[in-house]
Amino acid sequence: NVLKRMRRGTNGDAIRRRLHELREKIPHIALRTTMLVGYPGETEEDFQALLQFIEEMRFERLGAFAYSREEGTPSYDLDGQLDAATKAQRLDELMYRQRAISKAHNEGLIGREVQVMIEKQSSESELVWIGRTAQQAPEIDGMTYVGASDGMKPGKIVAAQITQATDYDLVAEPII
């Protein structure tokens, strides 16, 4: 219902089919998306369907924001504008659910060998470097904390084994 009101030209079934096809054809794919909650006319039933959708699709990375009424947009004058408290509550609930999905994904990486691009040395310890795997976008996703080894420097790509996981971050040891 919300996608139709937004004039997205697609529906949940079509999106599900595409995502299942991607997961089937590309092993270890990391899917990222952004969700909007509180669009005018969004009912509690619509919101529950969105929560069910993210539980089913298990996006590795997901960002979300609450609808903001902006002059000059097609949605500005739509009926069914939601109050700020409802939008904030829905955003919190969505991100709470996604945090658990992200943590489960990260825990599934424990023991896996990955390539980490080193960005910088940790300001807290010279024994730790901070980098990102191919699935971690700068300024959006978590980071990978890698134990120091000879020759580490920004821009270097190192093989590492994931040893620990949090909701959004990974801990790894370099493979020497």
Q: In terms of Cα–Cα distance, which of 101, 114, 124, 93 is closest to 172?
A: 114
CA atoms within 13 A on the CB side of 162: 21
Residue 165 tokens read as 């996981």
The SS3 call for residue 100 is helix
Mean pLDDT of the chain: 94
Residue 102 tokens read as 């992200």
CA atoms within 13 A on the CB side of 125: 8
pLDDT of residue 27: 85
Residue 87 tokens read as 């939008």
Over residues 129-173, the pLDDT tens digits come to: 999 999 998 888 999 999 999 989 999 999 999 999 999 999 999
Q: Across residues 74-90, what is the average pLDDT?
A: 93
User: Quick one: which H or E segment has residue 21?
Assistant: helix 12-25
DSSP assignments along 46-96, one per residue: HHHHHHHHHHHH--SEEEEEE----TTSTTTT-S-PPPHHHHHHHHHHHHH
Over residues 88-113, the pLDDT tens digits come to: 999 999 999 999 999 999 999 999 99
Q: In terms of Cα–Cα distance, which of 105, 6, 13 is closest to 59?
A: 105
> CA triplet 168, 165, 125: central angle to 5 degrees?
90
Residue type, 44: E
Is the predicted pLDDT of residue 77 greater than 90, yes or no? Answer: no
pLDDT of residue 65: 94
